[in-house]
Chain A
Amino acid sequence: MSTQVKFVQGNEACVEAALYAGLDFFAGYPITPSTEIAELLSRRLPMAGGKFIQMEDELASICAIIGASLTGHKVMTATSGPGFSLMQEALGYAIMAEIPCVIVDVQRGGPSTGIPTHGSQGDIMQARWGTHGDHAIIALTASNHQDVFAMTIEAFNMAETYRTPVILLFDEIVGHMREKLVLPEPGEMPLVERLRTSVQGGVNYHPYLPREDGRLPMSDFGGVHRYNVTGLYHDMWGFPSADPGVAHGLIRHLVDKIENRTNQLARYKEYFLEDAEIVMVSYGSAARSALHVVKNRRNRGERLGLLELQTLWPFPRDIVREKCAQAEAVLVVELNMGQVMQEVKKALDHPEKVFLANRIDGVFITPTDIRKILRLIQGKGV
C-alpha cells in the first residue's frame, strides 16, 4: 500500500481526519473561514454513504448533529466565532445530556462580525465558558496539518469515550494555509467506536448510570431501549429531577469525568525544554512562529524552549507547571489579549515571570514580533 500525500488547506485536513474517524453526519451553516469544511463534506459524505445537511442557521446545525448522534452516528459541525456564539445553548445541552459530538471553530477576529478573513485565537475563553452553568469541556487545537489530522481524530475518540462534545479550536491561518498532509492507512490510527449497552431488550437500561470505569454505554434511538433525554437535571433514567442529591451528583459527574482526567487528556509537544531558561508556551498558528524563533536562538546557543499546547481545555496546568518550573521567564505567544497567558499564570508559583507576545490586529504574529518582546525580557531594550 502506498502512503497518500496531499497538499491541502487545514480545513481539508480536518475533513480528511473526520472521515477517517468515521464521521457520517454533518450539519452546518456557511461562515468564513470554516466554509470549506461544509463544502468538502457536502461532496465527500454522500460519496461514502453519509449525510450532509445545510441548516437554516448554526443553532439548528448543532441541534441537528445532537439528534443524529442519538441515533448512533458520528457527527460534526463547523463554524467560526459568530456561529460559535449561536451554538452555546445547545453546546450546554450536549454536555448535560452527554451526547458525543465534535464542534469545529475556525477562529476569526471578534467580537461580533469582527474580521472574517483574518486569523485570531480569541475564542479560547468562549470555548471554556461560553455556555452557562458550571461545566467542563474538552477543546483541542493544532499548529500544522498533520496535527490538525491527529487532533481531529482525538476529538472524535474523546467525544465517544467520555460521552461529551469536543471542540476543535483551529484558527483562520491554519484553516486556510496550504501544506503537506500524509494520510495514514486505514487502521493505522486507533479509533474509538461508540460503546453500546450490552443490556438486552426488556431489561432495564439506565442511560445515565456510569459503569465501574466511569463510562456510560449508550443505546441508539430506534433501538430496543426507550429512554428520555433532557437538558433538565435528571436521574440515571434520564427523568427530570429536582432532588438536591441527584442535582449535585449530576453536576459533579459532568465536571469530574473531564477535570479528573486533565493529565490523561493533555496533548502537547515540547521542543528543547530540558535546559530552557526561557520557555515559550504557544498553540495553533502562533506556535509556528514561536518554534521558528526557538530554533534560531538555539543555533546561536541561547537556551530557549517551546511548550506547544494541543489540549487547551481542560487546561493542562500540571504539565505547564512542570515544564516551566526551571524557567527564568515564560513567554506566552498567542493571538488574543492573553487568554491562555492568564491560565499559565494561575498554573505557576511565580506568575510574575510570565510575559505575553501577542497580536490582536488580525495580522499573523511573526518571529520578529516575538523577538521584540524577547529583547525586553532579556533586558536588551527595545
Chain B
Amino acid sequence: MALKDYLRQRFFPHMWCPGCGHGTVLNSLLRAVEQLGLSKNEIVMASGIGCSSRISGYVDFHTLHTLHGRALAFATGVKLSQPELNVIVPMGDGDALAIGGNHFIHACRRNIDITAIVMNNRIYGMTGGQFSPMSGVGINATTAPFQNIDRDFDVVKMATAAGATFVARSTTYHAQQAADLIKQAILHEGFSVVEILSQCPTHFGRKNKQGAAADMMERYKDITVPVGSKKKAENPDLIERGIFVQEEAPEYCREYDKIIAKAMKG
C-alpha cells in the first residue's frame, strides 16, 4: 500500500508549522506500518493533546484523540479489552513526561504490549513555547525568561528503570533509523518506548537561536552517535541513538489470560 493510503485526505492540510519535526515522525511511523504490512483495521492509535498528539487525526486507523497526558491510560483500556489490536501511542514530551509521567512509568512497569513514541521537541509547542521536563537547564522558554533552572531527565533511562522491555531513540534527521526502530517496537511483545528528537523551529528553535528546521536537524546529526560508539566515551555530552533495551518479559494481557484460566478453574 502506498503511504498516502494510510492518510485521511479529508484531514489535510495538517496543522503543523513549516519545518516541524512531527511530520517526519509521521512519515517514519507510516513506513514502519507499511513495511510490516499491517492492516489498517488492526491498528488503534491513541494520543493525548499537543501538536504531536494531532498525528492521530491524520492517519486512517481507529483513532482516539484524548486528554493531555492520559493517552496511555486510554490505550491500556483498549489493549487489555481487545489484546489482538496493535496499539500505538504518539506523545509529546510534556504530554508523556510531565502531566502524563505517572501513566508513563506505570505502563512501562506493567509491560503491556503498547508502542509509545515520544516526540521530544523539548518544549510545549501547542501552547506556545513554555519549558517542558525535557528542556533542561539554561534553555529559554516563555515561562523561563531568565533561562530555565529546571533539570531535565532522560526518557531512555527512565523508561528502562520503570521496566519497559523495548527502549530506543532516534531523531528526525535519522528518519530511516526511526522507521526501523518503530517497526521493531511494534513487533516487540511488551511495552516499547521510542524517543524521537523532533524539532520545533517555531518555539524552541527561535527562542534558543538554533536556526531554521534544517539547521536543527543538522544539529541532531552532530550531537548524536550510535549506541556504544567510542565517541560517546570521549564526549559524554553526545546523545546515543539506537536500541538500549530489548528483552523478553511476561506481557500483561497474556498474563491476564492466565488469571482468567485460573479463575475459571475455580
List the interface of chain A (C-beta within 8 A of B).
25, 27, 43, 46-47, 49, 51, 53, 55-57, 59-61, 63-73, 75, 89-90, 93, 221-224, 226-232, 237, 239-240
Interface CB pairs A-B, < 8 A, 21: A46-B256, A47-B264, A49-B264, A59-B73, A60-B76, A63-B70, A63-B77, A64-B77, A65-B77, A67-B81, A68-B78, A72-B82, A75-B77, A90-B67, A221-B85, A222-B42, A226-B40, A228-B63, A229-B63, A229-B64, A229-B65
Q: Residue among B103, B256, B264 with the most chain A CB within 10 A?
A: B103
Binds A, one of B54-62, B126-134, B208-216, B233-241: B54-62
When the two chains form their complex, are residues A25 and B41 in contact, meaning their CB atoms are under 8 A apart?
no
Residue on B nearest A90 in the bound complex, by CB: B67
- Asked if B66 lies at the interface with its beta carbon under 8 angstroms from chain A, I say yes
- Asked if B16 lies at the interface with its beta carbon under 8 angstroms from chain A, I say no
When the two chains form their complex, are residues B62 and A67 in contact, meaning their CB atoms are under 8 A apart?
no
Pick the residue among A46, A66, A72, A226 that contacts B264 (CB under 8 A). A46
Residues of B contacting A229 in the complex (Cβ-Cβ under 8 angstroms): 63-65
Residue on A nearest B104 in the bound complex, by CB: A56
B182: shortest Cβ distance to chain A, in Å? Answer: 20
Residue on B nearest A50 in the bound complex, by CB: B260
When the two chains form their complex, are residues A227 and B62 in contact, meaning their CB atoms are under 8 A apart?
yes
Decide: A51 near B81, CB < 8 A? Known: A221-B44, A226-B41: yes
Residues of A contacting B77 in the complex (Cβ-Cβ under 8 angstroms): 25, 27, 53, 63-69, 75
A93: shortest Cβ distance to chain B, in Å? Answer: 6
- Asked if B232 lies at the interface with its beta carbon under 8 angstroms from chain A, I say no
Residues of B contacting A221 in the complex (Cβ-Cβ under 8 angstroms): 44, 62, 64, 78, 82, 85
List the interface of chain B (C-beta within 8 A of A).
8, 10-11, 40-42, 44, 46, 56-57, 60-67, 70, 73-82, 84-85, 102-103, 106, 256, 259-260, 262-264, 266
When the two chains form their complex, are residues B76 and A67 in contact, meaning their CB atoms are under 8 A apart?
yes
10 more A-B residue pairs beyond the given contacts A68-B80, A228-B65, with a C-beta to C-beta distance below 8 A: A51-B81, A64-B76, A64-B77, A67-B73, A68-B77, A89-B67, A222-B85, A223-B41, A226-B41, A229-B64
Residues of B contacting A240 in the complex (Cβ-Cβ under 8 angstroms): 57, 65
When the two chains form their complex, are residues A237 and B62 in contact, meaning their CB atoms are under 8 A apart?
no
Return the 9 tightest CB-CB contacts between A and B, nearest first: A67-B77, A64-B77, A63-B73, A68-B81, A46-B263, A60-B73, A230-B65, A68-B77, A71-B82
Decide: A67 near B41, CB < 8 A? Known: A25-B81, A57-B102, A90-B67: no
Residues of A contacting B259 in the complex (Cβ-Cβ under 8 angstroms): 46
Q: Residue among B60, B61, B73, B79 with the most chain A CB within 10 A?
A: B73
A222: shortest Cβ distance to chain B, in Å? Answer: 5
**A27 to B76, alpha carbons, bound, how many Å?**
10
Residue on B nearest A57 in the bound complex, by CB: B102
When the two chains form their complex, are residues B81 and A73 in contact, meaning their CB atoms are under 8 A apart?
yes
When the two chains form their complex, are residues A70 and B64 in contact, meaning their CB atoms are under 8 A apart?
yes
Residue on A nearest B69 in the bound complex, by CB: A59
A159: shortest Cβ distance to chain B, in Å? Answer: 16
Residues of B contacting A237 in the complex (Cβ-Cβ under 8 angstroms): 10
**A141 to B64, alpha carbons, bound, how many Å?**
31
Q: Residue among A25, A229, A237 with the most chain B CB within 10 A?
A: A229
When the two chains form their complex, are residues B74 and A239 in contact, meaning their CB atoms are under 8 A apart?
no
B262: shortest Cβ distance to chain A, in Å? Answer: 8
**A223 to B41, alpha carbons, bound, how many Å?**
6
**A68 to B80, alpha carbons, bound, how many Å?**
8
**A46 to B80, alpha carbons, bound, how many Å?**
13
When the two chains form their complex, are residues A64 and B80 in contact, meaning their CB atoms are under 8 A apart?
yes
**A240 to B79, alpha carbons, bound, how many Å?**
25
When the two chains form their complex, are residues A63 and B10 in contact, meaning their CB atoms are under 8 A apart?
no
Residue on A nearest B102 in the bound complex, by CB: A56
When the two chains form their complex, are residues B82 and A60 in contact, meaning their CB atoms are under 8 A apart?
no
A27: shortest Cβ distance to chain B, in Å? Answer: 6
A326: shortest Cβ distance to chain B, in Å? Answer: 48
Q: Residue among A65, A69, A71, A231 with the most chain B CB within 10 A?
A: A71
When the two chains form their complex, are residues B64 and A43 in contact, meaning their CB atoms are under 8 A apart?
no
When the two chains form their complex, are residues A46 and B260 in contact, meaning their CB atoms are under 8 A apart?
yes
Residues of A contacting B80 in the complex (Cβ-Cβ under 8 angstroms): 25, 51, 53, 64, 68
When the two chains form their complex, are residues B70 and A59 in contact, meaning their CB atoms are under 8 A apart?
yes
When the two chains form their complex, are residues A71 and B65 in contact, meaning their CB atoms are under 8 A apart?
no
A75: shortest Cβ distance to chain B, in Å? Answer: 8
Decide: A71 near B85, CB < 8 A? Known: A222-B42, A228-B63, A232-B65: yes
A250: shortest Cβ distance to chain B, in Å? Answer: 15
